[in-house]
Structure 1
Amino acid sequence: MVEATPVGIAGLAVLSALGRGVEPQLAAALSGAAAFGPVERFDVSGRRVGVAATLGQVDTLTAELAGVIEAACVDAGLNAAQRAAAPLLLALHGYPGATGCAVELAERAGLAGAGRIYIGACVSASTAVADAAAMIGRGADRVVVAAGYLVEPDQFALFDAGQAMSADGAVRPFSAGRQGLLLGDGVAAVVLESGAAAAARGHQPATELVGWGRAGDAYHPCQPAPEGRGLARAIEAALQRAGVSANAIGYVNANATGTQLSDAAEAAALHHALGAAAGQVPVSSTKAVHGHALEASGLLELVITVLSLQAGKLPVNAGYLAPDDSCALDVIVSSPRPVATPYALSLNSAFGGANTALLVRAT
């Protein structure tokens, strides 16, 4: 595999139940202040679980996506001509209006058009980021990636019926006593840019995407492969693409959903991919504060990873009760850790055995 040319993260914007903008995301991730509470957006009276992480006042998903796309382009300092040459890659839950939504969003932001729509469950956004980086590697100057999920009754009902959601109102990744996931709002956008395009306009990104990997398990429609081989291959591909050793990794923002099988499989994947370094790399899952944003998870968590590197502090793993022998990792508990190296992994997995790894570096 040929090493990838680093791709600058030129601009970003985000909202979740933690608040609007980057500041509340980082503050909650570092303090472990979870945003879970009773669902008031729709009726949950007949449900086993009635808790999620929802932002109090939200517009339509299209409107919220338009807002973060515009804010990310402004954050990147893009002018009209630069926007007009940048395609939009959009990750969201599949529905009949998805194509029209993407076209509308691109037009509203003055972008080159809707390049692709990603509906591949919980790796949708991270897959879009990897594709954007590949497009830039093939000569594109910049690509805008956006993703959004607002907690709604249909997916809530499905996860509740499947008894996948935590009945104790908390998400406890990698912890003994974990009971499952909780859903959460997440809407985010990033502008990815080639080094040459950034230099031409005098821009120096604070963080770069330096590697990415994707791999499948083909094990079960819902359950992860117990040994985590697919995710391990994705991690290994990201490291190889970046030309980076496992010992260089200073943080892993894990996919960990707080479910028994998934967290154990991810821990196994980290040990397979990182070897002896797996027990020494600080790990946490920010789903413990903002919930699972489904198709938008990969982008929301990538943004928080980037913000953490820039702040020089690593997020805590909220909800943690006690160690679990199946998750033998260096989980960040109690308080944030200082950033020790410039490299961090953001991992995501989805139903059907899809796995992604994004490797970023603070410049």
Structure 2
Amino acid sequence: MEKRRVVITGLGTVNPTGNSVAESWAAVRRGECGVGPITQYDTSNSKVKLAAEVKDFDPTRRIDKREARKMARFTQFAVAAAAEAIEDAGLDLEHADLTRCATVISSGIGGLPIMEEECLKGEAKGYDRVSPFFVPMTIANMAAGQVAIRFGLKGMCTSPVTACAGGTNAIGDAFHRIRDGYEDLAVCGGAESCISPLGVGGFTSMKALNPTGDPARASIPFDAERGGFVIGEGAGILVLEELEHARARGAHIYAEVVGYASNCDAYHFTAPAPGGAGGAACMRLALEDAGVQPESIGYINAHGTGTHLNDSCETAAIKAVFGGHAYELAVSSTKSMTGHLLGAAGGVEGVFTALALHDGYLPATVNLKVPDPECDLNYLPNQGVERQVDYALSDSLGFGGHNACVVFKRWEG
């Protein structure tokens, strides 16, 4: 059976660089970093005092005030970004077959800050006094559920919970659903918000976060002085559509999704496999799924977290897959600007990768100052480049050994 083609027709985001696609992409093109002091709680007794927070977010711009109060922050981000993406796609949902519209939105952790608040309330007042909205606000699938409810999307609704690979899994899973004929359209991506004492404290105690107080030296993927990632928050949502379905309504097309793969290191619950073996295998599988030769890839939006093991292993994986071409293609980590959005990372990076192909602009890895012999590829340090490439790859890795990779193709109409 001939596989159906799948294109991207809508984009939406809320992230530390901006509260819309236009605002965020303009900031990324300027190389602006969204890292700053944590404002969501008092960090006086905390080792880590920096994060990449969403700024000036008003959920009531997209969500009814009463409904917003029943949503955790990560769900508010998802609904706001989905509303932007659906509007951007120009969808007329009143006349669409909503049973053929899927929702696939990841969250790695869900409503952790709500969990903390209600736990403290339960300790103080008794657990029968916690909010009746506690469970539906905290469960990780609720971003997907609330988006589907808001827009009446009655196809498959699911939430891949694969840690930091989740957003990319969501895009890839949605792509395969459409390509294989189960749905004609999908709203997909990721949402996360767990900048809280427990969320940050948990990553701090395992020495995953960079403890520096300098925002310009905190999220520095591939830099020899990197010392961990910077936790971020936000959402990135894409509307994927079967090609003829999109053409029939005259939709604007950003890019095409042509390949996807997901696998597991089966090695360690937090560390990547030596030499990035699992990530390399996942990239090869995605290229095979796309029917694309490694030499065709012109840009990689890397996972690039800023931890020592991730960046060195990911670099080794790219070399293993691409050979000599690894030194010719462009690689960058937009986490240098957004921080690490955990389950939302792949969604936001999917938005950026689609825009990179659409606009012919490859974003930088900002604040990359000190070269590392283990990380010797072209990471577009500090300055993005105007360059048209035909294929781009976005990869994500997650605790538990999860790997996910999506291959995008420039749309030529």
Structure-1-length-normalised TM-score = 0.94
Q: Which one is further off, 17-26 or 253-262?
A: 17-26
Q: 1:136 aligns with which of 178, 184, 204?
A: 178
Query: 1:112 is matched with which residue?
Result: 154
> Are residues 1:185 and 2:195 paired?
no
C-alpha deviation, 1:159, in angstroms: 0.9
Query: 2:190 is matched with which residue?
Result: 147
- The secondary structure found in structure 1 opposite 2:405 is strand
> Are residues 1:45 and 2:44 paired?
yes
Distance 1:223 1:101, change over 3 A: closer
Q: 1:194 aligns with which of 238, 242, 245?
A: 242
> Are residues 1:255 and 2:300 paired?
no
Distance 1:278 1:101, change over 3 A: closer
C-alpha deviation, 1:113, in angstroms: 5.5
Query: 1:162 is matched with which residue?
Result: 206
Structure with greater proportional helix content: 2
Distance (Å, rounded) in 2 between the aligned partners of 1:155 and 1:75: 33
Query: 2:90 is matched with which residue?
Result: 77
Q: 1:226 aligns with which of 248, 268, 274?
A: 274
Q: Unmatched 5+ residue regions in structure 1?
A: none
Q: 1:354 aligns with which of 375, 387, 402?
A: 402
Distance 1:214 1:114, change over 3 A: closer
Distance 1:323 1:298, change over 3 A: same
C-alpha contact (below 8 Å) 1:107/1:113 kept by paired residues? no
C-alpha deviation, 1:25, in angstroms: 2.1
C-alpha deviation, 1:237, in angstroms: 1.3
C-alpha deviation, 1:65, in angstroms: 1.8
C-alpha contact (below 8 Å) 1:14/1:300 kept by paired residues? yes
Q: 1:322 aligns with which of 358, 363, 370?
A: 370
C-alpha contact (below 8 Å) 2:195/2:231 kept by paired residues? no
C-alpha contact (below 8 Å) 1:89/1:144 kept by paired residues? yes
C-alpha contact (below 8 Å) 2:259/2:406 kept by paired residues? yes
Distance (Å, rounded) in 2 between the aligned partners of 1:149 and 1:52: 13
C-alpha contact (below 8 Å) 2:357/2:388 kept by paired residues? no
Query: 1:24 is matched with which residue?
Result: 23
> Are residues 1:267 and 2:315 paired?
yes
How many residues align? The count is 362
Structure-2-length-normalised TM-score = 0.83
Query: Equivalences for 1:117-128 in 2 at 5 Å?
Result: 117-128=159-170
Counterpart AA for 1:136: I
Q: Percent identity?
A: 33
Distance (Å, rounded) in 2 between the aligned partners of 1:13 and 1:204: 14
**Highest CA radius of gyration, 1 or 2?**
2
Counterpart AA for 1:30: R
Q: Deviation per CA, 1:225-261, whole angstroms, max 9, x where unpaired?
A: 1211111111111111111111111111100111111
C-alpha contact (below 8 Å) 2:20/2:84 kept by paired residues? no
- The secondary structure found in structure 1 opposite 2:39 is coil
Distance (Å, rounded) in 2 between the aligned partners of 1:311 and 1:101: 29
C-alpha contact (below 8 Å) 2:17/2:28 kept by paired residues? no
Taking only aligned residues, the RMSD between alpha carbons, in angstroms, comes to 1.8
Distance (Å, rounded) in 2 between the aligned partners of 1:115 and 1:53: 29
Query: 1:339 is matched with which residue?
Result: 387
Q: 1:176 aligns with which of 211, 224, 239?
A: 224
Counterpart AA for 2:201: A
C-alpha deviation, 1:32, in angstroms: 2.2
Q: Which one is further off, 112-121 or 208-217?
A: 112-121
Q: 2:106 aligns with which of 91, 97, 100?
A: 91
C-alpha contact (below 8 Å) 2:74/2:143 kept by paired residues? no
Counterpart AA for 1:40: T
Counterpart AA for 1:91: S
Q: Unmatched 5+ residue regions in structure 2?
A: 60-72, 112-134
Structure with greater proportional strand content: 1
C-alpha contact (below 8 Å) 1:90/1:147 kept by paired residues? yes
- The secondary structure found in structure 1 opposite 2:274 is coil
C-alpha contact (below 8 Å) 1:207/1:362 kept by paired residues? yes
C-alpha contact (below 8 Å) 1:4/1:241 kept by paired residues? no
C-alpha contact (below 8 Å) 2:263/2:278 kept by paired residues? yes
Distance (Å, rounded) in 2 between the aligned partners of 1:21 and 1:83: 27
Q: Which one is further off, 84-93 or 283-292?
A: 84-93
Distance 1:4 1:282, change over 3 A: farther
Q: Which runs of 4+ in 1 moved over 6 A?
A: none
